[in-house]
């Protein structure tokens, strides 16, 4: 009896200590989310005051479900996320393994690799657009000279070729970040494991498969969760590079939402789209944390 009441007072103290932090979170995260959700239950078109602002329940969500442009955008987002992250993980792992070796100038290489990551996305996107844009652009010139193309082509008018600069730009920009995260993971692996394996006659490939990769799994999963969430919210890169075109065939959900919300000023429908994006990213995060057991904190399982 006395024990529980002491626990209760301790709990109260605990709550009062975290209360300021919780109220900040409530103010900057939960309140806007709640507001957006409330907005999404209304028909609210800033441009059309004659419609009023009636409560329409889940009608906006019903419209989303029936909206082929939304499903298309969802597909493009998933495609972009899967392709770019696979490439980034592969190349990033390779870079991390190389940077993990002891060689002269290692510090310099580690810093140099980060340069693309340091460039603002919009600037990077403009750079890549410039490379691919015109028939006289650098990409066309190189490919024609190398004999890969017979004549210069217009990259941004076909779906398949429009994805090339988008994915390349993302891989170029984000691989360094992935490499660095993986490098941090690599440095946590005890070197004596490799020595022991070498004594037992294991070759490099065997060491990679049975020591490096299993022990790197936590780092890989953390990278995956970061990159998946980023990929799912991709906006600026595609906004600058293709604008979602040709047609809407490279349009991601974030761009579609921006369009509904800020171009067409459809606050109700746009809010519903925002809530859907939030739900999807939240679900993905939950899947990674619960399903794959990513440990974001330092606690031992």
DSSP designation for 275 = H
Element (H, E) at 176: helix 159-187
Contact range with other proteins by CB under 8 A, out of 8-16, 117-125, 239-247, 271-279:
239-247
Judged by CB under 8 A, does residue 159 bind other proteins? yes
Mapped onto helix, strand or coil, the DSSP state of residue 109 is helix
Our finding on whether 151 is near other proteins (CB under 8 A) is no
Q: Of the ranges 26-34, 181-189, 193-201, 256-264, which one interacts with other proteins (CB under 8 A)?
A: 256-264
Q: What is the CA radius of gyration of the chain?
A: 25
User: Which residue of 83, 144, 246, 281 would you call a contact of other proteins, by CB under 8 A?
Assistant: 246
CA pair distance 228, 84, nearest whole angstrom: 10
Residues 263-282: x where in contact with other proteins by CB under 8 A, - otherwise, as a string: xxx-----------------
Helix, strand, coil: what percent of the chain each, to 5?
75, 0, 25
| Residue 45 makes contact with other proteins by CB under 8 A | yes
**Contact between 156 and other proteins (CB under 8 A)?**
yes
- Among the residue ranges 1-9, 25-33, 182-190, 261-269, the one whose residues contact other proteins (CB under 8 A): 261-269
Query: 29: which DSSP letter?
Result: I
Cα–Cα distance, 5 to 267 (Å, whole number): 49
* Least spacing, CB of residue 122 vs other proteins, in Å: 16
Question: Could you tell me the smallest distance in angstroms from the CB atom of residue 63 to other proteins?
Answer: 9
Backbone torsions φ then ψ of 266, nearest 5 degrees? -90, 85
Q: Taking CB under 8 A as the rule, does residue 245 contact other proteins?
A: yes
Q: Give the contact letters, 114-133, x = binds to other proteins (CB under 8 A), - = no.
A: -------------------x
Task: Print the binding letters for residues 49-88 with other proteins: x by CB under 8 A, - otherwise.
Answer: xxx-------------------------------------
User: Pseudo-torsion of CA 98, 101, 103, 108, nearest 10°?
Assistant: 60
Q: How many other C-beta atoms can be found within 10 angstroms of the C-beta atom of residue 230?
A: 16
Nearer to other proteins by Cβ, of 39 and 45: the residue is 45
The neighbour count for residue 194, using CB atoms within 10 Å, is: 15
Cβ–Cβ < 8 Å for 216, 96: no
Calpha distance 95→101 (Å, rounded): 10
Q: Does residue 46 bind other proteins (CB under 8 A)?
A: yes
**Please, what is the minimum distance in Å from the beta carbon of residue 29 to other proteins?**
24
Q: Which is nearer to other proteins, 46 or 98 (CB)?
A: 46
Measured distance CA(203)–CA(145) in Å, rounded: 41
Residues 130-149 that bind other proteins (CB under 8 A): 133-135
Binding site for other proteins (CB under 8 A): 45-51, 133-135, 154, 156-159, 243-249, 259, 262-265
């Amino acid at each position: 009896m006395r024990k529980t009441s002491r626990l209760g007072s301790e709990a109260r103290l605990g709550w009062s200590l975290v209360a300021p932090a919780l109220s900040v979170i409530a103010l900057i995260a939960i309140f806007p989310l709640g507001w957006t959700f409330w907005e999404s239950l209304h028909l609210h078109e800033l441009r059309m005051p004659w419609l009023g602002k009636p409560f329409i329940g889940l009608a906006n969500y019903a419209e989303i479900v029936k909206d082929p442009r939304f499903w298309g955008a969802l597909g493009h987002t998933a495609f972009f996320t899967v392709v770019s992250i696979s490439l980034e993980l592969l190349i990033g792992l390779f870079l991390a393994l190389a940077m993990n070796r002891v060689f002269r100038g290692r510090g310099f290489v580690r810093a140099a690799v980060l340069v693309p990551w340091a460039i603002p996305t919009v600037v990077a996107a403009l750079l890549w657009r410039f490379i691919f844009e015109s028939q006289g652009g650098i990409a066309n010139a190189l490919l024609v000279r190398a004999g890969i193309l017979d004549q210069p082509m217009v990259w941004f008018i076909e779906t398949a070729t429009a994805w090339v600069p988008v994915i390349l730009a993302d891989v170029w920009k984000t691989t360094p970040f992935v490499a660095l995260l993986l490098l941090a993971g690599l440095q946590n692996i005890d070197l004596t494991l490799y020595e022991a394996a070498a004594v037992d006659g294991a070759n490099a490939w065997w060491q990679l498969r049975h020591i490096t990769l299993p022990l790197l799994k936590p780092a890989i999963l953390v990278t995956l969760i970061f990159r998946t969430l980023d990929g799912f919210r991709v906006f600026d890169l595609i906004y600058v590079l293709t604008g979602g075109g040709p047609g809407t065939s490279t349009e991601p959900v974030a761009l579609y939402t921006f369009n509904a919300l800020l171009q067409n000023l459809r606050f109700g429908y746009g809010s519903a789209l925002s809530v859907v994006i939030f739900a999807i990213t939240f679900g993905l995060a939950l899947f990674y944390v619960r399903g794959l057991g990513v440990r974001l904190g330092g606690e031992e399982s």
